Amino acid sequence: MADNDSRAGARYYNEAILDYTQRVHASHDAGLTRAFATPDGVPAIQLGMSEGKLVHLLVKMIGARKAVEVGTLVGYSGTQIARALAPGGHLWTCEFDPRHAELARANFAAAGVGDRVTIVVGPGVETLPTLNAHGPFDVVFIDADKQNYEHYGAWAIANLRPGGLVLGDNAFLFGQLCDDDARARAMRRFHEGVAAACDSVCIPTPDGLVLGIKR
């Protein structure tokens, strides 16, 4: 493991450093503050603020115009993505829970991106194929039910343009990625599918973020 830098090397960050750098580089305006909040009954499972900013910058860096998100929650990552899109851009974001979708709709409007976001309500496995005709896409961000990542990853690879970006949150599967069960095996097939079709990496955010550029 001598060449595995995350095991061999020291980690120089701590809570104070993460708080400071998040505040300096990734602070929220009113729109992001609103979309980051999770009202009663909504799980606080959105991206962290620095991760949200990273996703924003990645989308901006590739000049993306057409994006798909799987897992809207109440619109935090969607706002980060939609605000990064080039002029005339559009985000289609898939959400299973109609109550989350309604909250997200209001949050997107308040963040000034209501006109460039379409929320598609239903199970991602069923709704993604309805988006094929809008593709090929520049970005697909996956942050939904973990047992279907393999499926979502395959859809992304089939519907991204060459040079398009696939992102997957929770790529460490809450620390269970290397377990010996069906869900972990499926998540590993997500990794392997992205790696086979893309130039890719998994970066050690708190729960892992996969990043791939389709060949």
Residue window 136-175: x/- pattern of binding to Mg ion, with contact defined by CB under 5 A? -------x-------------------------xx-----
Residues binding ligand DHB: number (CB under 6 A) = 5
* Distance of closest approach, residue 42 Cβ to ligand DHB, in angstroms: 12
Angle ∠(148,153,156) on CA atoms, nearest 5? 130
* Distance of closest approach, residue 141 Cβ to ligand DHB, in angstroms: 11
* Distance of closest approach, residue 2 Cβ to ligand DHB, in angstroms: 31
Q: Which residue is nearest to ligand DHB (CB)?
A: 45
Largest CA distance in the chain: 50
95 binds ligand DHB (CB under 6 A): no
User: 128, 130, 109, 157: which is closest to 69 by C-alpha?
Assistant: 128
* Calpha distance 200→26 (Å, rounded): 24
* Distance of closest approach, residue 44 Cβ to ligand DHB, in angstroms: 9
* Calpha distance 39→58 (Å, rounded): 28
Cβ-based nearer residue to ligand DHB, 112 or 127: 127
Judged by CB under 6 A, which of 72, 148, 170, 200 binds ligand DHB? Answer: 170
Angle ∠(11,14,16) on CA atoms, nearest 5? 155
* Distance of closest approach, residue 123 Cβ to Mg ion, in angstroms: 17
45 binds ligand DHB (CB under 6 A): yes
Q: 1 to 40, contacts with ligand DHB by CB under 6 A?
A: none
Q: 123 to 162, contacts with ligand DHB by CB under 6 A?
A: 143
Chain residues in the site for Mg ion (CB under 5 A): 143, 169-170
